[in-house]
């Protein structure tokens, strides 16, 4: 029996209403079925073309557990759901929530990795802690998180990120724009290779703050670890105090 015939038989009668009809008339039954049509790492446009127009049917896909295999598909669908919704969308703790979000709002109690990656607009509120790569490559919109692990706002180009507690290592690595505010302390190498934008840390920063930075502004109200501004080629660093071997040209707070 062919797969098409099997699926037709399986969804007869009472299950017919569960079919996920797309705007192009193609039936999408699950994340697996969607992946069969466009692969597991599609473009956003490919997902949008097949995303169900019916919000309840889209919700069925969002409620499914994507595992590792379908997490990119799920992440884009979560953003599409938020953009269509007139109220904030609450999502479970999964990787890539809010992937490429353009507008709308998402609320997550606890977050995993890559939340808000490549987002261009909208808002994401994480009530608890986020994992690694929060807001990676974002160019617009805003994220507020209770805390986060490593590589938060890596390669940020625009928008804003607020971490209410501790931010792990490598915050704002390679940034060329945007604004980051950490209301607690942060780990090592914040602002490493930073080219633009701003980072403000309300408490202390770890070692190698602003390592190899060439632009942008870093402000630390507390103290830095060792070698702040080491091999800095541009930009500005201000802090309430510095650890040993701070680079030339770092400034105190006025």
pLDDT at 55 (0 to 100):
86
Angle (CA) 124 125 128, round 5°:
135
Q: Is the pTM of this model over 0.85?
A: yes
pLDDT at 117 (0 to 100):
98
Pairing of strands 123-129, 89-91: unpaired
pLDDT at 149 (0 to 100):
98
Q: Which residues pair with 17 in a beta bridge?
A: none
pLDDT band at 16 (very low <50, low <70, confident <90, very high): very low
pLDDT at 28 (0 to 100):
77
Average pLDDT (22-43) is: 81
Do the Cβ atoms of 182 and 153 come closer than 8 Å?
A: no
pLDDT at 242 (0 to 100):
97
pLDDT of 11 higher than 50: no
Q: Per residue in 69-113, pLDDT tens?
A: 999 999 999 999 999 999 999 999 999 999 999 999 999 999 999
> What are the DSSP calls for 38-85, one per residue?
H-SS--HHHHHHHSBSSHHHHHHHHHS--TTTTHHHHHHHHHHHHHH-
Angle (CA) 76 79 84, round 5°:
130
Decide which of 10 and 72 is more confident.
72
pLDDT band at 13 (very low <50, low <70, confident <90, very high): very low
Decide which of 180 and 59 is more confident.
180
Percent over 90 (pLDDT), the chain: 84
pLDDT at 25 (0 to 100):
54
* Integer Cα distance of 95 and 93 in angstroms: 7
């Amino acid at each position: 029996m062919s797969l098409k015939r099997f699926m037709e038989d399986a969804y007869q009668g009472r299950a017919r209403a569960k079919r996920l009809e797309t705007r192009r008339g193609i039936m999408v039954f699950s994340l697996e079925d969607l992946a069969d049509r466009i692969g597991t790492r599609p473009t956003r446009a490919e997902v949008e073309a097949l995303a169900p127009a019916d919000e309840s049917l889209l919700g069925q896909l969002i409620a499914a557990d994507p595992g590792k295999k379908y997490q990119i598909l799920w992440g884009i669908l979560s953003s599409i759901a938020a953009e269509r919704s007139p109220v904030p969308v609450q999502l479970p703790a999964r990787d890539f929530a809010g992937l490429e979000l353009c507008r709308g709002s998402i609320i997550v109690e606890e977050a995993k990795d890559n939340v808000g990656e490549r987002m261009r607009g909208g808002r994401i509120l994480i009530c608890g802690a986020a994992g690694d790569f929060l807001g990676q490559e974002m160019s617009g919109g805003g994220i507020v998180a209770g805390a986060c692990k490593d590589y938060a706002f890596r390669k940020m180009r625009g928008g804003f990120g607020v971490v209410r507690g501790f931010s792990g290592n490598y915050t704002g690595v390679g940034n060329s724009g945007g604004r980051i505010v950490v209301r607690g302390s942060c780990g090592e190498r914040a602002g490493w290779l930073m080219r633009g934008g701003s980072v403000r840390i309300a408490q202390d920063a770890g070692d190698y703050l602003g390592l190899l930075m060439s632009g942008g502004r870093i402000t630390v109200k507390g103290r830095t670890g060792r070698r702040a501004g080491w091999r800095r080629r541009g930009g500005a660093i201000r802090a309430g105090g510095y650890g040993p071997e701070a680079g030339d040209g770092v400034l105190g707070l006025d």
